[in-house]
Structure 1
Amino acid sequence: MVDTDWAGDVLTNGRRMAESLMADECRIVHPTGRMSVDRMTGVVEPETTLVYEGRCKVQTAGGVASQVVSAAGDSTNVGGNVPVWALYLHLPVTVETAVSGDIAVIMRSRDPSLVGRRLRLVNLQSEKTWATARRWNVSEMPAEAEVDDE
């Protein structure tokens, strides 16, 4: 049997350590399914509600060689193997309101190339008793098109 007092202390310390590595900041929104029109520009945009804003960490894993094949059956790499990477977003364990389909935008990062990246939360992969963080599998979304006023 596990000594829950000792295990609780270890878990608290593990969560504190995991959060200390979350040096990035993100904003997570939930699409409402409604659209709104900007009266000044006429631009139609999806409405969202704020889910979370705060610390996070972008993480990759993998690099496993894989044969990538398109939906049409064509190989995208002419018969060779390419590395396939998994992309994750780590959040504090206290962030319980994020759901699959939410969108995270990296607002600040020690890696400037991550700032502005948009990540769709795919599924939570840290559903366990001794979780030290909420670790989400995510997929990167294309950058939003910029409007050129010229």
Structure 2
Amino acid sequence: MSILNGSLSMGRRMAESRMLDECTITRPGEKAWDEELGEWITTQVVVYSGRCRIKHPSTVARDVEAGSQLLAVSFTEIHLPLAASGVMADDTVTVDASPTRVEQAGRQFIVTAPFDGSQSTALRFRVEAFDERRLA
């Protein structure tokens, strides 16, 4: 095994050891008519369920001007094991449990974009909050 492969393997183990949260990633599936409710119901397809890590890649927020408002923008990432696959933009991430921040359980995020690259230690996706903390 080359030095690069050894380092990469060690980096992947370290990345996964920091994935202490549990999350479920879903996307809309088929629609079915519910006679009782009299409306179409969309089933949710589970894309991934397991270990994850929610983090800010930078603690520094960036000021942006939107119309006549000055907003502070920071980005959040979700990290998944490399074995996870199939996650796409617009998927919904639900934090099921977070031992280090219990109040995170139940929070939802929307996947906006992947971070691509070779020699990755984890799958990383940019996400936006999709709950009461989301900016209008």
User: Secondary structure, in 3 states, of the residue corresponding to 2:125?
Assistant: strand
Give the share of equivalent positions with the same residue, in percent. Answer: 26
Spell out structure 1 runs of 4+ moving beyond 6 A: none
CA-atom RMSD in angstroms:
2.1
Aligned ranges 1:78-93 → 2 under 5 Å: 82-93=71-82
What is the CA distance between 1:114 and its match in structure 2? 1.1
1:74 aligns with 2:68: yes
- Indicate the residue corresponding to 2:49 in structure 1: 53
Please identify the structure whose Cα radius of gyration is greater.
Answer: 1
What is the CA distance between 1:43 and its match in structure 2? 7.2
Q: For 2:101 and 2:84, how far apart are their aligned partners in 1?
A: 23
Tell me, which stretches of 5 or more residues in structure 1 are unaligned? 144-150
Change (3 A) 1:65 1:124: closer
What is the CA distance between 1:120 and its match in structure 2? 0.9
Matched to 2:51, the amino acid is R
- For residue 131 of structure 2, the aligned residue among 134, 138, 142 is 142
8 Å Cα contact 2:111-2:127 kept in structure 1: yes
8 Å Cα contact 1:30-1:49 kept in structure 2: yes
Change (3 A) 1:112 1:68: farther
TM superposition score normalised by structure 1: 0.75
Q: For 1:74 and 1:43, how far apart are their aligned partners in 2?
A: 41
Once the two structures are superposed, residues 61-100 of structure 1 have per-residue CA deviations (whole angstroms, 9 ceiling, x without a partner) of 243341332xxx231x5xxxx5321111111111121111
What is the CA distance between 1:37 and its match in structure 2? 5.4
TM superposition score normalised by structure 2: 0.82
- Indicate the residue corresponding to 1:98 in structure 2: 87
1:121 aligns with 2:111: yes
Q: For 2:47 and 2:32, how far apart are their aligned partners in 1?
A: 19
Q: For 1:118 and 1:42, how far apart are their aligned partners in 2?
A: 28
8 Å Cα contact 2:55-2:76 kept in structure 1: yes
- Indicate the residue corresponding to 1:31 in structure 2: 28
- Indicate the residue corresponding to 1:111 in structure 2: 101
